[in-house]
Structure 1
């Protein structure tokens, strides 16, 4: 989109989905435990789902996999648990054979294992920092709702046409003038063709939350039939607002998304502050070719790369497609 700017996005709360997955996982645990014995066996035995040669696959391993499967329904629990178990058996067989062949000692494999370990540990630390974040108050949620009318009470669904034009700077004035005088995009496109100006076009229907947050206010001020033009490295981009329709979201339905966004925003800020403090307190020495420009590179790096909740790019996560149809009660 022509107004795209790096912005923090926010995602609607997945609390209900997580609760449902947890419930399904618990159901699978119960099912597996029921089939594991008569209660007289040890707790260790009751947690064993299968034995592969001398190694055991436990219910906890199945549970862990199921917790990461979104959209699983309770009635699918038993079948899902069995499928996961079969995959774990195949995985264990592959691991045992790899160990037999000493693949686990391959330098490349060891390096990958260490990299994954570091990633998991560092993210766990970041998540622990975020656990201390206080939830936003009702007043803070209401304030954000009122400050973003284009996302909520004045929310619209936009039908947009975008034209990316390859043009030289000396052609800009002519193109802008023709755009102002064109009746529609077809008329404007014919002008570009006639003047051998290369362009590509696309059309889409986008809800307010699917547009870049930095440009949403400007787009929300456009009326049906309006157009906007912006400069790009390759030339110009023209945006036509073909039409729009109102589809507001009241504060009650927007509350979960706003609460999630404000919480995630605070987590990101705290993580960045904490990592900056760690950097300042640490003795970091760049060596060799990495010493050149190290200061500027360090300043440009963002602690948000470790944060699980801070993202840059589209503003769509305010109310994503799933939220619109489910969490926000819209059709």
Structure 2
């Protein structure tokens, strides 16, 4: 989503809320002479009820719902909830809800929801950034705003041995075009794959943006990887700056998210220091202390950069996560702490 589309996104969100409200009035308004409980009932499935609140909860999660679509959408959601209720009832008849795996999944989901709720509660204390802070961020990131460009990029991922990378780099420097370099790769028998895309500045990794912004059309760059090398070609670019007024909502959102992440990290660290944590069995071997454990489990790290809210790139993977091949950000998110 382009920064210039931010206003349309906000209007879309407002329209969605209006649509949800319209559904609530439409459904809850039926049968005014009945009891309040009956007026909130949308359907009965055997002995169980499906309520308007359940329908509204699902509708609130739908993006871009228009008011004129509200009635049709509510009926569609109701049918899906009926199917879901029938499946739940049958599963209960078969005692699947008592299956240890199911119980474990339910408990994990419950813990995640509760933990996420706490994180949101902590984040409520964060103050909205002031105008000076927004201006400072805007001026410190010219490649995202004042000097923003749209890039046409080609990327080649090459499988090679470390000793081959030097020859690849030399040939890259000597090549007059992407096509010439690709022909060279074909002749060597090296395995490679490529892709091409058009990306706005805010859609690129923030830690790579400045380097890409320094490139001129036709330039290339090589970076060594664990499996060989990645070559990036800047096929072309065009200027498309964003003024501070249009960038302000995105910058405010980023700074808010960044502060929330820092506050949650600080809070979790304090909770760890105040708690008695005892590692047992094989986990006691080489177990980190409270401070080390907090460092190895980042909480609520800022999200990766998006068009609507340019944000800092995630912190580097902790050594323990990298060694195990696990994505610590994914793990943290799955625990409701991000």
TM (norm. structure 1) is 0.85
The answer for the alignment partner of 1:151 in structure 2 is 144
The answer for the alignment partner of 2:129 in structure 1 is 136
The answer for the alignment partner of 1:19 in structure 2 is 14
Q: How many Å separate the matches in 2 of 1:127 and 1:193?
A: 53
Of residues 54-63 and 293-302 in structure 1, the stretch that sits farther from structure 2 once superposed is: 293-302
Pick aligned residue for 2:295 from 285, 294, 299: 299
Structure with greater contact order relative to length (CA < 8 Å, sep ≥ 6): 1
> C-alpha deviations, 1:289-321, integer Å up to 9, x for none?
1222331665321112xx7xx324xx334569x
Q: How many Å separate the matches in 2 of 1:110 and 1:190?
A: 57
Q: How many Å separate the matches in 2 of 1:170 and 1:67?
A: 55
Instruction: Tell me if 1:50 matches 2:43.
Output: yes
Give the SS at the match of 2:256: helix
- After superposition, the CA RMSD in angstroms is 2.0
Shift of residue 159, structure 1, vs aligned partner:
1.1
Cα pair distance change 1:244/1:92, threshold 3 Å: same
Q: How many Å separate the matches in 2 of 1:31 and 1:207?
A: 42
The answer to whether the Cα contact below 8 Å between 1:153 and 1:250 also exists between their aligned partners in 2 is yes
Cα pair distance change 1:18/1:125, threshold 3 Å: farther
The answer for the alignment partner of 2:115 in structure 1 is 122
Pick aligned residue for 1:73 from 66, 73, 89: 66
The answer for the alignment partner of 2:178 in structure 1 is 185
The answer to whether the Cα contact below 8 Å between 1:167 and 1:197 also exists between their aligned partners in 2 is yes
Cα pair distance change 1:290/1:302, threshold 3 Å: same
List runs of 5+ in structure 2 lacking aligned partners: 1-5, 311-338
Instruction: Tell me if 1:216 matches 2:209.
Output: yes
The answer to whether the Cα contact below 8 Å between 1:212 and 1:316 also exists between their aligned partners in 2 is no
Q: How many Å separate the matches in 2 of 1:81 and 1:275?
A: 40
Shift of residue 277, structure 1, vs aligned partner:
0.8
Shift of residue 90, structure 1, vs aligned partner:
2.0
Instruction: Tell me if 1:32 matches 2:32.
Output: no
Pick aligned residue for 2:306 from 306, 311, 316: 316
Q: How many Å separate the matches in 2 of 1:194 and 1:143?
A: 51
Q: Runs in 1 of length 4+ with deviation above 6 angstroms?
A: none
> C-alpha deviations, 1:256-302, integer Å up to 9, x for none?
11111111111111111111111111111111112223316653211
Of residues 295-304 and 74-83 in structure 1, the stretch that sits farther from structure 2 once superposed is: 295-304
TM (norm. structure 2) is 0.83
List runs of 5+ in structure 1 lacking aligned partners: 1-11, 321-331
Cα pair distance change 1:50/1:220, threshold 3 Å: same
Shift of residue 206, structure 1, vs aligned partner:
1.2
Pick aligned residue for 1:277 from 260, 266, 270: 270
Aligned length: 301
Give the SS at the match of 1:303: coil
Q: How many Å separate the matches in 2 of 1:101 and 1:187?
A: 65
Shift of residue 201, structure 1, vs aligned partner:
2.2
The answer for the alignment partner of 1:198 in structure 2 is 191
